[in-house]
Amino acid sequence: MKTILLTGDSRGVGHVIAKLLLNNTYKVIGISRRRNKEIDRLCDQFGENYTHLDYDLEDVAGIKDLYLHQVKPLGPIHAYVNNAAIAYDDIITNLALDPLEKMYRVNVFSPMMMTKYIIRDMLLHKTQGSVIHISSISVHTGYKGLAMYASTKGALEAFSKNTAREWGKAGIRSNVVCPGFMATDMSAKLDDEQQNKIFSRNSMGKLIDIDSVASTVEFLLSDRSGSITGQVIHTDNGTI
C-alpha cells in the first residue's frame, strides 16, 4: 500500500483528492492548518490508513522538524501532492509586500522545502516515487487581480519541470495538474458576473469538475502514468 503526503486536505479539491485516494487503497498523510469535521469523518471511516497533521505551512523553517518527527515515522513516502495554497488577490498597483511574502511562504517556499525532504526519503528507501503540484490556469491566461497569485503557481511549474529533469534517473517523477476555476472557497469570493466571465473563457462554458481534477492526480500517482514526467496537465475545460 502506497503512502501519499497531501497538503490542504481539509477542504476543496484537496479533500476530494484525499477521499479518492483513500477509497483506492492508498494511505494518506494529510496536512492543513487545522482539523475540521470533514477530517474527523475521514479518520473515523479509514482509521489507520489516514493520518492528519495540523501544521501552518507559512512556517517554512519548521518543515524540517515536521518531516523528521511527524512525517518520516509514517513512511516510507511514495508520493507528495502539494495542493495547499492561499491567494492574495489585488491589482498590481496595490501590491503590498507583507501579504505577498506570506503567500510565497505558503505556496512556494514550503512546497520546495517539503519536496527536498520527500525526495531524500525516496532516495533513502529506493522508492520510485511521484511529486505532483496543483497549479492554476491563471499562470497561462491572465486574469485581472491574480498576477501575484499566478506568479507563485508559475514558480511551482518551473520547479516541477526541473525536478523531473534532475531526479528522473532515480525513478522519481514530477508533474503539475493545472485546473481551471472550480467551486472552491477561492472561487466563492467571485460574484455571478465575474464567474460568468471566467466560464465564457473555457470551451465548455462551465465550472471545472473537481472529481475530474482529483482523478487526474490519482492517475499521475499510479503506475499507469509511469512514462509521464515534467508535464503540466491541464484540467480546465479547454480554457481559451
The closest alpha carbon to 167, from 112, 219, 229, 75, belongs to 229
Omega before 76 within 30 of 0, i.e. cis = yes
3-state secondary structure of 163: helix
Q: Under a CB-based contact definition with an 8 Å cutoff, are residues 35 and 52 in contact?
A: yes
Residue that has been written with the C-alpha cell 525532504 in this structure = 117
* Residue 148 vs residues 54, 151, 203: alpha-carbon distances, Å: 27, 5, 26
Selected catalytic residue, list 50, 67, 117, 149: 149
Q: Beta-carbon neighbour count of residue 167 at 10 Å?
A: 19
User: Does residue 149 have an active-site annotation?
Assistant: yes
The DSSP H or E segment spanning 234 is: strand 232-235
Residues designated catalytic? 149
